[in-house]
Amino acid sequence: MKNYFITATDTDAGKTFVASALICALVKENKRIAAYKPVAAGCQEQNGVLVNEDAALLAFFSNCNQDIPSVNPIALIEAIAPHIAAAHADYEISLGEINNGFEEVLSLHADINITEGAGGWRLPLSFNDATYNNQPTFLSDFAKASKQDVILIVNMKLGCLNHALLTYQAIIADGLNCIAWVANSANVEPMSNLKENIASLEKLLPMPKIAQFEYFQDTAMSLHEKISVAAKMIDLTPFK
């Protein structure tokens, strides 16, 4: 069983898009894939369950029959920084709860567990986590505790070189391996000098680039169809 944690240079960088495409690609390789989105901010209530769009997409493409709370145990209504959304809901996010949710995912015995982070690498969870000596906690603490291999999604826009390198350095400083990166254009307007920027990152980041996605503009295609097309463009070598 392998565990991968998908992080990004920022929010809206394409973590869900790429994580879903990766899951889709691995399912097509006959792997059993479980998904985990420990914390999601921005949910709507459906039949008494708080449903986040990311969790719904990850559940759609994975193949371990998980319900939404199994994919996403901590679901917050407001689409704002999770620790603030939690405070508004009179709730404290704990690493203990995130670890417990992951144990449940592990109990499915999938071949591969794919976790989507939230925001960027150093996403604050709590200033006062009783399950962590009342210390400030970050989502990266969960990735560290579960020793996951990390995949970095870079949203190709001005400023991304700095964000990508700082994120890579923080992952390594946390003692984890960053095994791959993806160049993703999450904005309809491509960044200027896109090729040169990707070439610069290829020189500066030591891990392989497993995909390069332009912005899929086709309005006739659904998001699910775009993700299925993107899935075919991923180099799965690191997962073999």
Ligand X SMILES: Nc1ncnc2c1ncn2[C@@H]1O[C@H](COP(=O)(O)OP(=O)(O)O)[C@@H](O)[C@H]1O
Can you tell me the distance from the alpha carbon of 20 to that of 136, in angstroms, rounded to the nearest whole number?
Answer: 30
In the complex, least distance from residue 134 CB atom to Mg ion, rounded to whole angstroms: 29
Can you tell me the distance from the alpha carbon of 236 to that of 240, in angstroms, rounded to the nearest whole number?
Answer: 7
Return phi, psi of residue 236, to 5°.
-90, 10
- The item of Mg ion, ligand X, none sharing an interface with residue 37, based on CB under 5 to 8 Å by kind, is none
In the complex, least distance from residue 223 CB atom to ligand X, rounded to whole angstroms: 5
Can you tell me the distance from the alpha carbon of 145 to that of 164, in angstroms, rounded to the nearest whole number?
Answer: 22
Kindly state the tokens that stand for 198: 């990707």
Q: Catalytic annotation on 37?
A: yes
Per-residue contact string for residues 162-201; x = within reach of ligand X by CB under 6 A: ----------------------xxx---------------
Residue labelled with tokens 């989105």: 37
Is position 132 an interface residue for ligand X (rule: CB under 6 A)?
no
- The item of Mg ion, ligand X, none sharing an interface with residue 160, based on CB under 5 to 8 Å by kind, is none
Nearer to ligand X, 129 or 213 (CB): 213
- The item of Mg ion, ligand X, none sharing an interface with residue 185, based on CB under 5 to 8 Å by kind, is ligand X
- The item of ligand X, Mg ion, none sharing an interface with residue 186, based on CB under 5 to 8 Å by kind, is ligand X
Nearer to ligand X, 9 or 70 (CB): 9
DSSP per-residue string spanning 28-77: HTT--EEEE--EEE--EEETTEEE-HHHHHHHHH--S---HHHH-SEEES
Q: How many C-beta atoms lie closer than 10 Å to residue 64's C-beta?
A: 17
Exactly one of 37, 195, 203, 209 is catalytic; which is it? 37
Is position 8 an interface residue for ligand X (rule: CB under 6 A)?
yes
Can you tell me the distance from the alpha carbon of 223 to that of 17, in angstroms, rounded to the nearest whole number?
Answer: 9
Is position 12 an interface residue for ligand X (rule: CB under 6 A)?
yes
Which helix (H) or strand (E) element contains residue 96? helix 95-106
Interhelix angle 15-28/223-231, nearest 10 degrees: 60
In the complex, least distance from residue 90 CB atom to ligand X, rounded to whole angstroms: 26
User: Among residue numbers 43 through 72, which ones bind ligand X (CB under 6 A)?
Assistant: 54
Binding site for ligand X (CB under 6 A): 8, 11-17, 54, 184-186, 213, 215-216, 223, 226
